[in-house]
């Protein structure tokens, strides 16, 4: 998604992680979801990271920044020849040998299976006019294969996190290793080149989580408790210039949420990347609120909510303040959105955004409440477990979403 002289088409899609599919795996349920998206007039399917999750089920703290998770395979026991494993190892010299050493016998056979299944699904989706948005965590996990293979690229004595901010009252101590950006620069950004090349082979567009870390990352000393730390400068545009020189134009979404400074927006805009705007944060915050509907730029992705926020029904019922509800009603009235189902009215409001892509979490399409929330940041239980009911996304909902998408001028003719 590079800057263009022409006005890009308006599009939309649905956020649903693979583990939230009926059965929690690829195969027939994934293809059925693609078929539903096509019937509903959607152009995009957004997923969360596809690597092996941590012990809490989080895909954002994986033992590998490259490997796919065998836990989502439809056929985890499919036959893989020695020749196929050898070919995979030779084609991925930067990370495959270290992952094999880390994960043990059979690790690369699983990666062959993963590439087969995922590539087949992506090709199927593309034939139906549906492209896939991936998700790239900026950091790697402590003691992961990447951390152990390249200790010289990380600083000792500090871990990553975020201070308190507008969307996070207490801050967070993530515990990830922090990059030693001068060392990464001296390496010619080789690890990042390999990572982005691999990512481009999996997705049509990728959201880079915590994009602000490329401007400055919050470092917390390992000798202290809590989130008290300091900002340390990141590589800025130099990294993306190197990646573009090596890989060509980058199809990237900049996740620019949280404690954001003007420098983060300048980097995003200098790279030509779209940022994110979230409807739940649109109805307060004053005249400079970047999520306010009348401030949505064309080069942006509009969401009702993300995997880290309440569902839109939960937000409306128990979190939104009276003045936010009043502002949301006023915005709907101004656009002629008269649906009495408030969740659906807010879905339509997101589709009406000026942003060129609107993404709606599946939970919001279904009007589900707190029990369907995907993640509660800062907690380690009851996350990443929500799963779609097999018959929830029916033909009637596809027609309803298609009509709303058409009204918002977001159906793309293929």
Catalytic site positions: 209, 255, 308
* CA–CA distance, 99 with 96 (Å, rounded to integer): 5
Q: Please provide the distance, in angstroms rounded to a whole number, between the alpha carbons at the two ends of the chain.
A: 18
* CA–CA distance, 63 with 99 (Å, rounded to integer): 9
* CA–CA distance, 101 with 89 (Å, rounded to integer): 12
- Phi, psi at residue 288, to the nearest 5°? -100, 10
Closest Cα partner for 208 from 65, 73, 34, 87?
Answer: 65
Please count the CA atoms within 13 angstroms of the CA of 230 that sit on its side-chain side.
5
| Pairing mode, strands 216-221 and 154-162 | antiparallel
Q: Which residue has the tokens 């030779």?
A: 90
* CA–CA distance, 133 with 131 (Å, rounded to integer): 7
| Pairing mode, strands 300-303 and 230-233 | unpaired
* CA–CA distance, 148 with 127 (Å, rounded to integer): 40
H/E stretch holding 270: helix 262-271
Contact status, residue 257 vs residue 276, Cβ threshold 8 Å: yes
Please provide the DSSP assignment of 302-363 as one string: EES--TTS--HHHIIIIIS-HHHHHHHHHHHHHTT---SSHHHHHHHHHHTSSSSEEEEEHH
Task: Give Cα 365 to chain centroid, integer Å.
Answer: 18
Q: What secondary structure letter does DSSP report for 151?
A: G
Contact status, residue 216 vs residue 266, Cβ threshold 8 Å: no
């Amino acid at each position: 998604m590079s800057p263009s002289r022409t006005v890009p088409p308006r599009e939309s899609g649905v956020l649903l992680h693979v583990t939230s599919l009926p059965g929690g795996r690829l195969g027939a349920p994934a293809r059925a979801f693609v078929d539903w998206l096509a019937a509903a007039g959607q152009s995009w399917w957004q997923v969360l990271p596809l690597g092996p999750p941590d012990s809490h089920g989080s895909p954002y703290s994986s033992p590998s920044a490259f490997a796919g998770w065998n836990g989502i395979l439809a056929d985890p026991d499919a036959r893989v020849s020695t020749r196929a494993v050898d070919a995979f190892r030779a084609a991925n010299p930067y990370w495959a040998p270290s992952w094999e050493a880390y994960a043990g016998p059979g690790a690369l056979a699983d990666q062959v299976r993963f590439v087969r299944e995922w590539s087949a699904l992506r090709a199927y989706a593309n034939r139906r006019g549906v492209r896939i948005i991936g998700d790239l965590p900026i950091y790697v996990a402590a003691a992961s294969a990447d951390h152990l293979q390249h200790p010289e690229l990380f600083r000792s004595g500090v871990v990553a996190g975020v201070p308190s901010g507008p969307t996070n009252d207490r801050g967070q101590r993530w515990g990830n290793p922090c990059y030693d950006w001068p060392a990464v620069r001296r390496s010619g950004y080789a690890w990042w080149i390999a990572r982005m090349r691999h990512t481009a082979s999996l997705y049509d567009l990728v959201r880079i989580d915590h994009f602000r870390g490329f401007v400055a990352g919050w470092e917390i000393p390992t000798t202290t408790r809590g989130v008290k730390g300091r900002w340390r400068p990141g590589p800025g545009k130099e990294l993306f210039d190197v990646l573009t020189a090596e890989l060509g134009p980058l199809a990237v979404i900049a996740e620019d949420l949280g404690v954001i400074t003007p420098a983060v927006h300048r980097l995003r805009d200098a790279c030509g990347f779209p940022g994110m705007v979230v409807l739940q944060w649109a109805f307060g915050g004053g005249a400079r609120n970047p999520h306010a509907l009348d401030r949505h730029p064309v080069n942006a992705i509009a969401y009702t909510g993300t995997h880290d926020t309440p569902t839109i029904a939960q937000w409306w019922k128990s979190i939104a303040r009276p003045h936010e509800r009043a502002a949301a009603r006023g915005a709907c009235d101004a656009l002629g959105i008269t649906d009495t189902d408030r969740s659906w009215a807010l879905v339509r409001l997101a589709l009406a955004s000026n942003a060129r892509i609107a993404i709606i979490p599946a939970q919001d399409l279904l009007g589900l409440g707190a029990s369907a929330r995907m993640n509660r940041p800062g907690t380690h239980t009851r996350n990443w477990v929500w799963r779609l009911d097999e018959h929830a996304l029916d033909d009637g909902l596809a027609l309803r979403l298609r009509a709303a998408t058409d009204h918002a001028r977001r159906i793309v003719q293929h």
